[in-house]
Amino acid sequence: MAKNRVIGRFAVAVVITAWIVIALDQWAKAVAMANLQPGELVPFIGQLVQLRLAFNDSAAFSLGFGITWIFTIISSLAALAILWFSRKIETLSWAIMAGVLLGGVVGNLIDRITRATGFADGTVIDFIQLPFNFAIFNIADMAIVITCTLGALRLIRGEQIGKAKLEEAQVEPKSASLTGN
């Protein structure tokens, strides 16, 4: 019974974290829409970070131009998968990562659905630009990329997605044959 409460607590952490990321993303997009003109370049942190309003109808790095409805379906399925998976998460750090990922996915999904002229063909609002003509992106994009990068690093370190680390004592159990028992 106690384990179910812990699992439920982590699922709640996923949802709360997602709501925070969604709120921040949608607020930043609203501010960008109210204060920037499409294509206008505005220095934010000198030349390092600049603001440029753009409407993206493709995926990250402008891949998949013109097939927005497919990204809408994929994003919807991804959000549902993260929610389903959240009930199995065993640690707060994985729950926060899942929440940040969910928030990023849903933040862009909201744009694709609410800015649509037809079936799920809306554009995503992007407004953050780095030097060297790097892709223009938004907070939801950052949430997705950062979470995927951290998740990959954790997997490389040998962790299992959503699972708690095994204690050293559990990894190397004492062998009964060594003690003669």
Known catalytic membership, residue 141: yes
For the chain, give the secondary structure using H, E and C. Answer: CHHHHHHHHHHHHHHHHHHHHHHHHHHHHHHHHHHCCECCCEEEECCCEEEEEEEECCCHHHCCCCCHHHHHHHHHHHHHHHHHHHCCCCCHHHHHHHHHHHHHHHHHHHHHHHCCCCCCCCCEEEEEECCCCCCCECHHHHHHHHHHHHHHHHHHCCCCCCCCCCCHHHHCCCCHHHHCC
Catalytic residue among 25, 111, 121, 141: 141
The answer to whether 114 touches 42, Cβ cutoff 8 Å, is no
Distance of CA 155 to the CA centre of its chain: 17
Report, as residue numbers or ranges, the catalytic residues: 126, 141
